[in-house]
Amino acid sequence: MPFEYVPLLRKQLELYMLPRGFERFQSYIKTIINETGDDVALAPLVWMNPMGKEHCNALMEQYLSREIDAERLAQETLAEFATDAALRVSLVLVDDAKGGWTNRTDYEYKLRTQLGATLRRSHWLSLMLWTSATPSPEIVVETTRITLRRALHVLAHGDPKTLQEILAQEAIAQTKYPALAPDERTYTREVLTPLLDTPIDNMPVIVAALFGDTAATGLGYPPLGLGDNAGISIANQTPWRWCQGELLPSFLHSL
């Protein structure tokens, strides 16, 4: 059974149209929980902010407008991927702009290190649209493609166990990160090379290595001297390959 697209944005908007408060939160819980009340039925909606303010309503309406038609775009993009993976796929608006309980760096870390475990547990794949981004057709398509590339890689190889494996995974998933300047690229390689065997549960190092000093210090972690998304950017620029069961970065052979 291939990927199945399940439209949930309208359901999310319906929740946001309720007055903020206990009534909305109760409706949210009833919406996401299954009939027996012992499990989550609509896993992507766990990522939403049920107490989202007016900016969430406005963004949802833009994504659902004729100009963007996000549900249609995501479903059409899904058709680009040939797979037998039995997963349900849905878009969800995640409130990193004004959501008090949403830290984007923490979410991005989990997306890259725990996706396989999440898929095995829920059989749902969440396509995250961030409230800090301006809605556009391009964001919907690119979000869908990146998330699906990452998911297919994880389904084939499992969750990454080290920084080296995360970089290889992201080299496959990402396409849009800006290129680093030559000096910054060389410096980033020098910083990351001795850290490649760092296990994924060392969150302070992994976060700083992937997302840079600003993201790391925002969570109270020590910096590594790296710019924003430097690790992700260099993964995107550097060819990586599977070799004898291990992920080896080709740049190690060219330093």
Cα–Cα distance between 119 and 246 in angstroms, integer?
23
Cα–Cα distance between 179 and 189 in angstroms, integer?
13
For the chain, the structural domain boundaries read: 4-157, 163-253
Residue 89 CA neighbour count, 13 Å, CB half: 28
Which of left, alpha, beta for 79 (phi over 0: left; psi -120 to 50: alpha)?
Answer: alpha
pTM: predicted TM-score of the whole model, two decimal places: 0.86
- Residue ranges in the chain whose pLDDT is less than 70: 1, 99-102, 237-255
CB atoms within 10 A of CB 243: 9
pLDDT value of position 146 = 93
Cα–Cα distance between 148 and 77 in angstroms, integer?
10
pLDDT value of position 247 = 44
How far, in whole angstroms, is CA 80 from its chain's centroid?
19
pLDDT value of position 255 = 29
Q: 223-236: buried (b, 16+ CB within 10 Å) or exposed (e) per residue?
A: ebebbebbbbbbbb
